[in-house]
Structure 1
């Protein structure tokens, strides 16, 4: 095969050549009509968003609407999820809804004379209707101009192609979609595209491009005419987080787009709004040898009261204290600080102000679900010496260990248990991607409570009542050919009466060094009741953990109250037993991985791989994919389970410490294959925040 690049590409590549300007990062907060970072209209560039940026883009022109969620996974990797609606694209639907994913990899950054180059995959998991692959080069010229040129396959090779790299398998009616189409990557016709963007002002950008997308599917059914390969656009940056764009496409259409951005690294209140901590109280020289207080029982009692009161002023609960002449060991419950390093720092400051001067070694054991989960050991002299030094110096001398290694581990005091906590507030329950109505939602009030009967024994529940919404209007009968373990979810959302979302009794235990156990019984989640048991091996200083879980469950009645229903469904009988073995690994660089393998709710066997980008302030953005022995045909539309998930710490929004998070999962489809029980309080997430790898991430707040 021989390539003969067209004039447009040649001009762009010449422009990308040696120019006597300083290179910049080619970083932009603007997105194109496909939701990916880029200052052009439809065509890709080699630009990237600021690391960690999350963007939501909505674009529309006559007959076509796209809604996109994008994330800058790493400085050189961008990803996007897209939900598009096209009118009259197929005879089966008046509006064809399609879900797709994109990835772009920057191969190298631009230099003084070298353009940035990126490799991209568009709609690489989906129907492939928007599918394309490309290699693209972009170069900045001065502070205002950037030029781009590239080669595209798939949709981006459909206009004025100049060669072919083999046959490309296209999506056909009846295909389940949602699978990797690796056999089609960089196959088929190849064409050139090019573009230029120019910053007219600090806020207004103009873009012009030569498009290699022939819009073959849309033109074939008469949605619009493709009169020209030239597209033009204007983008106005209203503020750092909102931009508005207008564009003209293929000589026959005009449209608009709106982009909202935020970056987890940039908190609304960057400095935090919590009250300042107590200062460290330094001992005077010559007082550290005074042990006379040991002979005075009333002094020891006064110390206990002082420690409890002082740490309580920082919303830290002292469950127990053991004390001798040189060592103090505090058993601590932290229900406030999501940054455990901040809780530890404040507890040590409080101890420095309340303990006798002879006490040199400080141990603080954090409790999670009533279990002693990790112990920080710190020299009081180091605390006094390092108070005004960078936090990393304190981390270097801090020691973490398993609490079970201490013979003098404090036992809970008589008044530490029982304890009760509760909360009440609004809830938002959503459903996406229903062809009859792509976005549905219920809003209501939720009440939750936890009663800690004794250390590790917790009775908990959650009740909600709907105020208004339209989830009950979902009117889709599942056509699943395997047991209906999730696809009948609409029946659980139809009730207008109060529902018992969860009502359980859980026992958490330390089974030995590095070993944890959990047993939970009751109404485990909205759709299932039963018994769940789990064990976890997790060393305090390790980034690696192993766990195993076994469950015996029955499906709940659709009214989500106390009744159970038959395990027999239209797709088969729901098995009673399921479970998994799990491996967890904190890779570093902000990434965490989890692999679960075992039997899922429908009786299928397989594995789930999850990868999350975790920020020091508690934000988590991740993706998961599940493959089981259910075939693509039996699974149905989508081929296999996959999705995105997002966790936003309440503390990030409020600027004050809080342990609550707002969590959401975006699944392109809710099917029955690869579905796992949603039991609350799994061990790894319960204890990991108290172990050194996670505490170290938030260590910047140790002195806060």
Structure 2
């Protein structure tokens, strides 16, 4: 009878009033938008990324959710069950399970119709916490009512009310009827879930800015809590650029073309002015009455913004009687990407003065993919930079300096060259290894030193060494039982056997073979576990949102100790990739096919979305003929490599622009199937950001005037 009464309370809410209000729906203890443990028909905003931690007896859950598209919400969670044993005979601890959830809003709420959504919880893998449901929600002023029906873990009718009055100033009050079938949960006897009978739960939530906190009284017997942060990925940036250096505005006496040819000091002065703004590998050539400039910049994230600063400087310091300026943008790997040719310099000068629009500027501008001949011509230029008073500058590189809060590092010691080389020491780095049978959570901290030397056009020497500080990865004592070659499962041995490690030691040659055709050749120690020789070729079409590349590497596995020796295992990887972009929605679909590290052959599927902030979130799933039957794999259902990837441009969180990006991946870290060697310099990753291949939010003149 109480069950019926609870449902009547929920249904009566739909007859209270007809007025609509904006609903600030929050997450459940499992991360999906909803009440306390039950979902509602609401979905989070497009591009809203939430991370949370909840304690809801007998479960502790680390969760995340994402509004991937309007009306579509995805979730991922990692749940630990109290008073259980996960994998007997291992160091795994209590039982833990990862789950993925999805919710789709079929009908958007109207003046009279409720929102209607369907969803599935834990729809992949072992489905320990699986449930499928349909639910509708309707707002009546500050009151939001939901009622639904589920099967599986959510067994039958459920629903609830959330009241968010304006006078509460961020507080909300929740009633929920919980329909989870706790007595039939896995490990219900040992975890205590058998004593939970569902029913009424009550909660209070509070939201301020990005932060939220829910306190709940669950099923009349236990207290619970759910804390989270919600990040709006559709915001262009999270922190304003308060410390960005101003544009160059030094006014000095300018030369004519004839005077420029007669005195090399003019060239050197322009080079010096650009290098003072952080530009690297500056190349300047005056051809007749056209000024050609090539450059790279390690900090400025948008190509057009960097080109704009070069153009502004060239107008102030270049010859007075030139007819055009041609500026070629190079990557930090010395690949020429795009050439901007300005043929109406009066219009360009007026644009910087705010007198003409972008549309008027375009009449005197041609933007095209860079030609190899242009790059070759600029590469032959040798200029000795001069300072502002015309004296030779003896410093081809900066002095060592401690730099706080740069590129996501709390502090680092760095030295940069005016070419493309650099040396950097970061004393504190961390690696986190998550969700594996050898330990649900492992970590390492280490000091890292990296040195890069620019040898000649496109040729680089790169090295990296690390010194171990604190870690617990080496505590993994369980030997791998993988039937495949141990290309990744012996990672604990690499961490255990060496306090000092040469991470990489190699030479890269980057080349532009033809317009839109790029290549890389590499030899040396690629990464901690493999060394060898190989290369990559990439093709970009003149028009069309796609790209293809092919990588071939001849590899040998390194020894686990501190030296540079090798194990007997050798392999050849050959992987072709096709990338297809839908820039309007920030989407990239990638299919990689070929031979992987463990000599298994198959395909890897990747899906990725870029949000307005530049953050990219994606997933991958690999199918190969590698027969990985280690748990959770089985002879009839072998394990498939899969995971979640996250890429965060650090410029969105700093007060100065930077091209630095933090990359993360969540997947089992001791698996051998579907694995690839760490690329010494993946061409698609190098070109993707400057060319804005997956973005329609920016264009090739975005922020040109800044």
Alignment TM-score, normalising by the size of structure 2: 0.85
Equivalent residue, structure 1, for 2:382: 414
CA contact (8 A) 2:58 2:81 kept: yes
Alignment of 1:23-422 (within 5 A): 23-24=21-22, 26-28=23-25, 30-38=26-34, 40-88=35-83, 95-142=94-141, 144-157=142-155, 191-199=156-164, 201-215=168-182, 216-217=184-185, 220-221=188-189, 223-224=192-193, 225-237=195-207, 239-264=208-233, 265=235, 267-278=237-248, 293-297=256-260, 301-317=264-280, 319-368=282-331, 369-379=333-343, 380-387=345-352, 388=354, 399-404=366-371, 409-414=377-382, 420-422=421-423
Whether 1:657 aligns to 2:657 is yes
Give the SS at the match of 2:95. Answer: strand
Of 581, 590, 597, 2:593 maps to 597
Alignment TM-score, normalising by the size of structure 1: 0.85
CA contact (8 A) 1:480 1:636 kept: no
Deviation for aligned residue 1:632: 6.2
Deviation for aligned residue 1:510: 1.2
Deviation for aligned residue 1:213: 1.2
Name structure 2 gaps, 5 residues minimum: 385-417
Tell me: CA distance 1:440–1:42, structure 2 relative to 1, closer, same or farther (3 Å).
same
- Decide which moves more: 492-501 or 593-602: 492-501
- Decide which moves more: 683-692 or 56-65: 683-692
Q: Name the CA distance, whole Å, in 2 between partners of 1:351 and 1:418.
A: 20
Give the SS at the match of 1:565. Answer: strand
Q: Name the CA distance, whole Å, in 2 between partners of 1:91 and 1:503.
A: 40
CA contact (8 A) 1:482 1:634 kept: no
Of 457, 460, 470, 1:458 maps to 460
Of 420, 426, 429, 1:427 maps to 429
Deviation for aligned residue 1:390: 6.7
Tell me: CA distance 1:148–1:502, structure 2 relative to 1, closer, same or farther (3 Å).
same
Give the SS at the match of 1:275. Answer: coil
Give the SS at the match of 1:270. Answer: coil
- Decide which moves more: 205-214 or 663-672: 663-672
CA contact (8 A) 1:613 1:622 kept: yes
Q: Name the CA distance, whole Å, in 2 between partners of 1:150 and 1:35.
A: 18
Alignment of 1:598-637 (within 5 A): 598-631=594-627, 633=629, 636-637=632-633
CA contact (8 A) 2:579 2:590 kept: yes
Tell me the alpha carbon deviations over residues 278-312 of structure 1, each in whole angstroms, 9 at most, x when there is no partner: 369999xxxxxx9x933335556344223213322
Give the SS at the match of 1:630. Answer: coil
Equivalent residue, structure 2, for 1:516: 518
Tell me: CA distance 1:683–1:392, structure 2 relative to 1, closer, same or farther (3 Å).
farther
Give the SS at the match of 2:185. Answer: helix
Equivalent residue, structure 2, for 1:491: 493
Equivalent residue, structure 2, for 1:579: 574
CA contact (8 A) 1:281 1:352 kept: no
Tell me: CA distance 1:233–1:461, structure 2 relative to 1, closer, same or farther (3 Å).
same
Give the SS at the match of 2:371. Answer: helix
CA contact (8 A) 1:321 1:329 kept: yes
Give the SS at the match of 2:462. Answer: strand
Tell me the alpha carbon deviations over residues 340-389 of structure 1, each in whole angstroms, 9 at most, x when there is no partner: 22211211111221223333432211122122222122343442343436
Tell me the alpha carbon deviations over residues 126-185 of structure 1, each in whole angstroms, 9 at most, x when there is no partner: 31111112222112211x21111122122112xxxxxxxxxxxxxxxxxxxxxxxxxxxx
